[in-house]
């Protein structure tokens, strides 16, 4: 899933972005409100981690502009303890959650994962497609009784297909939600990683779960 972090305090921005990348997310980071709005307007992020006190354009203004263009990205606001009025205003403007500074990264990560599930109307952290189980909290994958080891990028791709199981997903949408701006931009990278996934989660003895839809992309589903 693709996350935008908008935070002007460099040590915090870099720590949050790096932690989210290590957790398997594709992450873009903005150093101020102007850059943050540029990213948010241009890209349909799954979650935006948004500081309120930003140079350029403040966080509440970004939130207003975001909802005015009907962007569905979930927004997690970062606030200081003395910003109660701003927290209330942010929630009223359409923020999905807030976190008071200072905070533990594990709590931020749990909240981001919850918002990702909300983004795709998934209440259960375990996604089931036939005999395939994708645990989005633990980031583990099983097919039947077999545990499947995936790289971070393979897992990110499978999770995105799983939250949209049963519907074709274009290569463009996969790229926008799984890869950040610093990712390898080779035109066939999505197809390459689909091949890796197929080799790991499918076999001659098991029903195929990843289906190619001509002119539409790929779909994860049990069609047996």
Same domain, 202 and 114: no
- Number of domains the chain contains: 2
pLDDT, tens only, 196-213: 999 999 876 778 899 998
Asked if residue 185 has pLDDT above 60, the reply is no
pLDDT, tens only, 89-129: 878 888 899 998 889 999 999 999 999 988 888 888 899 99
The pLDDT value given to residue 124: 86
Rounded CA separation 173/179 (Å): 10
| Least confident span in 81-90, 97-106, 134-143 | 81-90
The pLDDT value given to residue 184: 56
Asked if residue 186 has pLDDT above 80, the reply is no
* 134: confidence class by pLDDT, cuts 50, 70, 90: very high
The pLDDT value given to residue 85: 76
Q: Choose one of 120, 137, 157: the last residue of a domain.
A: 120
Same domain, 7 and 65: yes
The pLDDT value given to residue 79: 86
Same domain, 21 and 111: yes
Same domain, 11 and 116: yes
Asked if residue 82 has pLDDT above 90, the reply is no
DSSP 183: S
pLDDT, tens only, 23-53: 888 899 999 999 999 999 988 899 999 998 8
Same domain, 106 and 10: yes
- Percent of the chain exceeding pLDDT 90 equals 56
Contacts of 74 (CB under 8 A, 6+ apart): 46, 47, 48, 96, 97, 115, 116, 118, 119
Domain containing residue 105: CATH number: 3.40.50.2300
Same domain, 6 and 113: yes
Contacts of 191 (CB under 8 A, 6+ apart): 171
Structure tokens belonging to residue 137: 């909290």
Rounded CA separation 168/190 (Å): 14
Q: Choose one of 77, 94, 120: the last residue of a domain.
A: 120
Same domain, 195 and 116: no
């Amino acid at each position: 899933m693709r996350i935008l972090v908008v935070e002007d305090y460099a040590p915090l921005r870099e720590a949050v972005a790096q932690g989210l990348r290590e957790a398997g997310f594709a992450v873009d980071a903005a150093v101020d409100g102007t850059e943050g709005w540029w990213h948010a307007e241009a890209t349909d992020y799954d979650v935006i981690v948004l500081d309120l006190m930003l140079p350029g354009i403040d966080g509440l203004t970004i939130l207003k502009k975001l909802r005015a263009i009907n962007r569905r990205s979930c927004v997690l606001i970062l606030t200081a303890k003395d910003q109660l009025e701003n927290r209330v205003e942010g929630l009223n403007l359409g923020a999905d959650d807030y976190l008071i500074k200072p905070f533990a990264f594990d709590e931020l990560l749990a909240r981001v994962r919850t918002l990702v599930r909300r983004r795709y109307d998934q209440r259960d952290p375990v996604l089931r497609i036939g005999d395939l189980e994708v645990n989005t909290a633990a980031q583990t994958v099983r097919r039947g009784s077999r545990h499947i080891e995936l790289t971070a990028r393979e897992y990110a791709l499978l999770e995105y297909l799983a939250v949209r199981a049963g519907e074709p997903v274009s290569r463009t949408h996969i790229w926008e939600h799984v890869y950040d701006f610093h990712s390898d931009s080779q035109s066939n990278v999505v197809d390459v990683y689909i091949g890796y996934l197929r080799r790991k989660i499918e076999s001659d003895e098991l029903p195929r779960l990843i289906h190619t839809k001509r002119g539409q992309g790929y779909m994860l589903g049990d069609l047996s």
